[in-house]
Amino acid sequence: MKKVLVTGGTGFIGSHTVTELVDAGYEVVIADNLSNSRTGALDGIQKITGVQPAFEKIDLCDKVAFADMLRRHCGIDAIIHFAAHKAVGESVRQPLKYYRNNLDSLINILELMPEHAIEHLIFSSSCTVYGQPEKLPVTEQSPIQPATSPYGNTKQVSEAIIRDTVAASTNIQSIALRYFNPIGAHASALIGELPTGVPNNLVPFITQTAIGIREQLSVFGNDYNTPDGSCIRDYIHVVDLAKAHVVAVGRLLDRKNKAAFEVFNLGTGHGVSVLELVHAFEKTTGVKLNYKIVARRPGDTEQVWADTAYANKELGWKAQSTLEETLLSAWKWEKYYKESGGWE
Ligand code: UD1
């Protein structure tokens, strides 16, 4: 049984990936400092898979504690590194929090990997590295644009750090997965997205408005150069995204990668506007949303969606879920979470 360390494994994408890894026959160790997640995810994972993965509450910036953890869980074959701060606005207000956390943790991982004979790393990157692309859909060869936030910059710098480290090392092999907009939840509704405080992202804000936690959804701008004036994104079901990680880990472990550092776009290939998403939610759930158009949100990209041809061909992976299925899963999770009284 191959052993995978999942950092940030109690978080949104992390917890869904853990269930897919367990289902695929991997032994999983989760490392998470619970700064933006709860241990309730572990119960959800256990109920879904019948397996309780080892869990370590640890801050990966603490290199001594991290090394100690790797000694206790020897024989790790690969690391999937999700653990990072990800709120764009907060990163503008507190840039050092983002640079310190997102970069220190990655550097610690890269320094400790050779010492513990770990050769394979999957890194959570983001479509934010493309900024506003000149040509759509965006391919992996599209130029990287200057980051519009410290958060975005940590993703760009992290990719550069991995690329340089891999180039200088004979052993480390890595894949960076550039996520578009992950939404939705596991079909069981036992795990899902759990933002702390007021959600920054669109779909949690929609489901919280629909259930009555938020009074009104603000749609940030209807004067963009798009068919209905609102921003366009590529919304991908988190379970589809999670499955891509299982494929990527297998690719590295089976030594099927074509370069020591590879990059893949993970999206659906379809652009959906904010207003289209709002109306799709209303239609599929039958719940009317109280929303109003407000000013643009500073730093937003007008439109971006993925060219997924390279990931489809090379990974043999394709996002399967429809937007309706994905939105329904997010809504089911919101209702389940509320009905179950919430996680501890
Ligand atoms: C952003 C980041 C992305 C990051 C992700 C995780 C950029 C360009 N994108 O995605 O890299 O991985 O956050 O946090 O930095 N919207 C509303 N009302 C709301 C919330 C959002 O209209 O209350 C709109 C936004 O203007 C945007 C769309 O919904 O057009 C999606 O926003 P959001 O869910 O926050 O994701 P991104 O900004 O695309």
Alpha-carbon distance 103 to 128, whole Å? 17
Strand bridging mode 232-233 / 272-273? antiparallel
The amino acid occupying position 306 is: A
Ligand 1: centre distance to CA 81 (Å): 21
Residue 206 CA: which ligand 1 atom is closest? 23
Cis omega (within 30 of 0) for bond into 95: no
Q: What is the largest CA-CA distance in the chain?
A: 56
- Which residues are near ligand 1 (CB < 6 Å)? 86, 88, 126, 128, 149, 152, 181, 200-202, 205, 217-220, 231, 233, 274, 297, 300-301
At residue 187, the pLDDT reads 98
Confidence of residue 340 (pLDDT cuts 50, 70, 90): confident
Confidence of residue 337 (pLDDT cuts 50, 70, 90): confident
Domain residue ranges of the chain, discontinuous segments joined by +:
3-184+235-268
Joined together, the tokens standing for residue 220 give 């940030």
**26, 151, 179, 224: the active-site residue:** 151
Residue 88 CA: which ligand 1 atom is closest? 15
At residue 277, the pLDDT reads 98
Confidence of residue 229 (pLDDT cuts 50, 70, 90): very high
Alpha-carbon distance 192 to 216, whole Å? 22
Residue nearest to ligand 1 atom 3, measured at CA: 128
| pLDDT tens per residue across span 147-158 | 989 999 999 999
Alpha-carbon distance 32 to 45, whole Å? 15
Alpha-carbon distance 89 to 163, whole Å? 27
Ligand 1: centre distance to CA 273 (Å): 12
Alpha-carbon distance 219 to 211, whole Å? 18
Alpha-carbon distance 301 to 223, whole Å? 13
**What angle is formed at CA 22 by the lines to CA 336 and CA 77, rounded to 5 degrees?**
140
Contact 101, 61 (CB under 8 A): yes
- What angle do helix axes 104-115 and 150-168 make, rounded to 10 degrees? 20
At residue 32, the pLDDT reads 98
Residue 233 CA: which ligand 1 atom is closest? 39
As a whole number, mean pLDDT of residues 74-86 equals 98
Listed in sequence order, the DSSP H helices in the chain are 12-23, 40-49, 63-72, 88-93, 95-98, 104-115, 150-168, 202-211, 238-253, 274-285, 309-315, 323-339
Does this model's pTM top 0.75? My answer is yes
Chain centre to alpha carbon of residue 59: 19
Residue 344 pLDDT > 70, yes or no?
no
Determine whether 291 is an active site residue: no
What are the distances in angstroms from CA 8 to CA 16, 82, 102?
Answer: 11, 5, 12
Confidence of residue 44 (pLDDT cuts 50, 70, 90): very high
Contact 216, 70 (CB under 8 A): no
**What angle is formed at CA 49 by the lines to CA 43 and CA 55, rounded to 5 degrees?**
50
Residue 234 pLDDT > 70, yes or no?
yes
Whose CA is closest to 202, among 281, 90, 270, 267?
Answer: 281
Confidence of residue 236 (pLDDT cuts 50, 70, 90): very high
| pLDDT tens per residue across span 263-293 | 999 999 999 999 999 999 999 999 999 999 9
Average pLDDT of the residues of the chain: 96
Residue 343 pLDDT > 80, yes or no?
no
Ligand 1: centre distance to CA 237 (Å): 15
Ligand 1: centre distance to CA 289 (Å): 18
Instruction: Answer yes or no: CATH 3.40.50.300 is held by domain 3-184+235-268.
Output: no
